[in-house]
Structure 1
Amino acid sequence: MERKLFLKNGLAALGLAAIAPLANACKKDTSGSDTTDTSGTTTTGGNSSTTCTVSPTETEGPFPTKTPGSLVRSNIVGDRTGVAFTIKIYIKNKNSSCAALSGALVDIWHCDKDGYYSEYGGTSMQTVDYTSNHFLRGRQVTDSNGLVTFTSIFPGWYTSRATHIHVHVYNSSGTSLLVTQIAFPEGSSSAVTLVNTTGSSYGYTKGMSGYTYNASDNVFSDDTAALETAVVSGSLSGGYTLTHTINVSA
């Protein structure tokens, strides 16, 4: 499978990147903190955007959801298998001192454990054809706490990109407020590392050879990763939970 390398501003494609592992292509980002408690549950450090600053704008990438309004659901697993994953995203309004923004529309999408996206395929960018599938995509409306919650599986990775989730936030009238991406903490005890190196029984067989870390990722390598990196906690057996705050101007 191949992927185009997209610049952060989405204005140009840098080329096609094969999905086959590229050994030692990137260095590990060691900026995050990682701890493991005595119960065996791993908690990986991140940043939940506690400062009242609008979250960075990022490209939708090559695989945005085509008709998000038809995918109003909290469980986005579809027919995919993998490590259980809960996604909790808080939306806050910078124009109201970053108070919770209720009634916002939040679309998310991410790849499966093998690095494939639904709704696309059969081309050089993704050879496997999933054009008739809609897995790992969904829309929810924020509650009074500005929260949306999705049930999913832990994302895989593909060449040239760190593990990530795409997010598009709209106001209640459907006007776009922000397109951004969520990064994952990294390190030897992070969920990203544990899932990909010890999660073979769940179907994660790539390992970390050829993985692109946040510091080398073409979206997260420009010093905005601190605002885009979520908090991830949990374990392989119990599943992981991602928590992240996104600030918008509404």
Structure 2
Amino acid sequence: MKRKDFLRKGIVGLGTIVALPTVINGCSKDDDGLATGDTSASTSDDDDSSGSSDSCELSPSETAGPFPIVTPADLVRANIVSDRDGVALLITLTIQDKSDDCNALEGVYVDIWHCDSEGNYSEYGGTQMQQTDYTDKHFLRGRQLTDRNGQVSFISIFPGWYSGRAPHIHVEILDTDENSLRVTQIAFPEDTVETVYATSRYNGTPDTANENDNVFSDSLGGNMVDSLTGNTTDGYTLLKTIVV
């Protein structure tokens, strides 16, 4: 789905979305409403990046990491921003079935989670791995069911980074009985990362490049976004096809 169409039509349960702000300011409570913020327009050209092929290949199977969703069934929502701040990111994922000639896979769960602009995850913390305690928070986590086109969309923010990892998004695909079909991760082009992390609320250049990341180093082509368009003023739109 194109970003402008998504914004014009909105998402069921969210009402009509008038604009997607560039720097999303978190809502006052954890709900599905779109957070309000700077909606000023920009006339700058979009940045494009492609990292996928048209071949029907399974997406890389990756670790769920140390911060998987604790209660995914409680997080059925399209807007996963909650009270976090950052550059707006609209994520549209298309799920395809390898066993069915990579046709769209309808009616499967898509779980998504990533860190905030400062590199922290909700539902965890108070440990050496993450000192800030967000165990009672549920930001930047969500679940949706794919439509007949095998698609889901999430409103989020551009993820930050933490030591030892390149910027990334976690995704898990599950059947209706919640059996896992594939766990994977999404990587970002480093030129866009550099641009986003030069804005406020982010912690500057990551300490780990994609090619040195212990997850992406042997599968970067399959992990990379298919398309990432936009800018730091209007926000970005991420498109990714995941084959299970």
What TM-score results when the alignment is normalised by the length of structure 2? 0.80
Aligned residue identity for 1:226: G
Q: Which residue of 1 aligns with 2:222?
A: 227
Report deviation, 1:49.
4.9
In structure 2, C-alpha distance between the alignment counterparts of 1:145 and 1:120, rounded to whole Å? 34
Q: Which residue of 2 aligns with 1:21?
A: none
Q: Which residue of 2 aligns with 1:214?
A: 210
Q: Which residue of 1 aligns with 2:12?
A: none
Equivalences for residues 1-250 of structure 1 within 5 A: 39-187=43-191, 190=192, 192-197=193-198, 199-200=199-200, 203-204=201-202, 206-208=203-205, 210-222=206-218, 224-230=219-225, 231-248=227-244
In structure 1, C-alpha distance between the alignment counterparts of 2:224 and 2:125, rounded to whole Å? 28
1:14-70 per-residue CA deviation (whole Å, 9 max, x = no partner) reads xxxxxxxxxxxxxxxxxxxxxxxx942332312245210111100010000001011
Q: Tell me, yes or no, if the aligned pair for 1:60 and 1:166 is still in contact at 8 Å.
A: yes
* Higher fraction of strand: 1
In structure 2, C-alpha distance between the alignment counterparts of 1:215 and 1:100, rounded to whole Å? 31
1:76-111 per-residue CA deviation (whole Å, 9 max, x = no partner) reads 001001111100110000111000001010000000
Aligned length: 202
Q: Tell me, yes or no, if the aligned pair for 1:49 and 1:246 is still in contact at 8 Å.
A: no
Aligned residue identity for 2:170: H
Aligned residue identity for 1:207: G
Aligned residue identity for 2:204: G
Q: Which residue of 1 aligns with 2:39?
A: none
1:92-134 per-residue CA deviation (whole Å, 9 max, x = no partner) reads 0011100000101000000000000000000111000000000
Aligned residue identity for 2:100: S
In structure 2, C-alpha distance between the alignment counterparts of 1:183 and 1:76, rounded to whole Å? 19
Cα RMSD over matched residues? 1.4
In structure 1, C-alpha distance between the alignment counterparts of 2:210 and 2:48, rounded to whole Å? 15
What TM-score results when the alignment is normalised by the length of structure 1? 0.78
In structure 2, C-alpha distance between the alignment counterparts of 1:137 and 1:62, rounded to whole Å? 14
Q: Which residue of 2 aligns with 1:16?
A: none
Task: Return structure 1 stretches of 4+ with deviation > 3 angstroms.
Answer: none
In structure 1, C-alpha distance between the alignment counterparts of 2:187 and 2:108, rounded to whole Å? 21
Which fold has the larger relative contact order, with Cα–Cα distance below 8 Å and residues 6 or more apart in sequence?
1
Unaligned runs of 5+ in 2: 1-41
Report deviation, 1:228.
1.0
1:171-214 per-residue CA deviation (whole Å, 9 max, x = no partner) reads 12321100110111123xx2x111111x12xx12x221x53111
Q: Percent identity?
A: 53
In structure 1, C-alpha distance between the alignment counterparts of 2:45 and 2:133, rounded to whole Å? 36
